[in-house]
A = this chain, B = another copy of it.
């Protein structure tokens, strides 16, 4: 079956059939580097201001193999938008509308699904008022339901309680709901362990659960494994999903990469190579995770690396692989013999890339260690 043939099939149909669903990568950080998102509050007004930039990044992820286009609606709750001060004349509803259009337009170019995403709210931390918080999610959901979207994603939640509230609201839509927390293996910000978080989310109605952002791929795989164990112990079932950082963060604690001294403007040296992603994709697959994507730091070529690592399992390569020799094969005709020697899988798997920064350490002290 080709990517095109799976066009009309929903996310659960695909996952129930045991297929690998490749997620897309991170929008806000990549669009920050392209000049369209302001670091700090990271709001998504570019969907209205510069649709061509958002559309292009969607296309690159699609071309790289993504089966899902997430709407560019991160932090697009009214309370967050107001707090940010980034948007004066554009409403959240306008952004949600524009973002849905862009995701749909590009998704239809390649048989991908559109997922409308909601994320944690300032309101939860400030008021801890279930009614108020749920109203925010309801408002954004209603924006989505006016558009042609395939399923909903609850993502980037540090507190499972707020994520549960979001799931409860979004389930009223009748749509499939996926929920990913941005937590560490130690648990959420209230100390609820991952297994228990997963149980709560599934009981609230989530069809797919997992982890996104905040920590590096192998750590996130570890956390999803703990979720899986929690579900198994509770006799519950759900599909597993993962969209981790594209950065190495071995020293991070509960606070995630926000605690690193390099966040957000000096993370370059921590960036994953495509070969790191091959390893991640395999580990995620082996852990039983079938919805595999990325978050901040994942550029199109990282998504392609997921699709290439799992090409046999999926049965096809993504369009962007026409511009990529597997495992460096495109170097085999290079004029320099030492570059030709790099056209082998073993070379890249074994390489320990140097930073070219001898005055820098290899590990930092996260903020909350102090």
Contacts and interface: CB of A to CB of B under 8 A. Distances in A.
Contact of A351 (B34, B41, B52, B266): B266
A287 interface: no
A331 interface: yes
Most buried by B among A34, A272, A274, A336: A34
A355 B357 contact: yes
Contacts of A260: 354
A151 interface: no
A324 B38 contact: yes
Contacts of A33: 299-301
B362 A358 contact: yes
A273 interface: yes
A361 B262 CA distance: 16
Interface string A264-291: 1111111111110000000000000000
A254 to B, nearest CB: 12
B353 A35 contact: no
A360 B300 CA distance: 25
Contacts of A174: none
Contacts of A263: 339, 342
B273 A265 contact: yes
A320 interface: yes
A39 B273 CA distance: 15
A41 B343 CA distance: 13
A258 B337 CA distance: 11
B247 A356 contact: yes
A73 interface: no
A249 B357 CA distance: 8
Contacts of A275: 265-266
Interface string A227-261: 00000000000000000000111110001001111
Contacts of A249: 356
A325 B270 contact: no
A268 B268 contact: yes
A190 interface: no
A300 to B, nearest CB: 5
Nearest to A259: B338
B352 A363 contact: no
A52 B56 contact: yes
Interface stretch (A5-13, A58-66, A134-142, A175-183): A58-66
Given A259-B338, A362-B360, A354 B270 contact: yes
A37 B266 contact: no
Given A40-B334, A331-B39, A355 B360 contact: yes
Closest 9 CB pairs of A and B: A248-B356, A35-B320, A40-B330, A358-B363, A338-B367, A268-B271, A354-B364, A266-B353, A270-B356
Given A258-B336, A338-B367, 5 more contacts: A32-B301, A125-B335, A258-B339, A259-B338, A354-B360
24 contacts: A33-B301, A35-B60, A35-B319, A37-B323, A38-B330, A39-B330, A40-B330, A41-B330, A56-B56, A85-B333, A122-B335, A258-B339, A261-B351, A261-B353, A265-B273, A265-B348, A338-B368, A352-B360, A352-B361, A354-B359, A354-B364, A355-B355, A358-B362, A359-B362
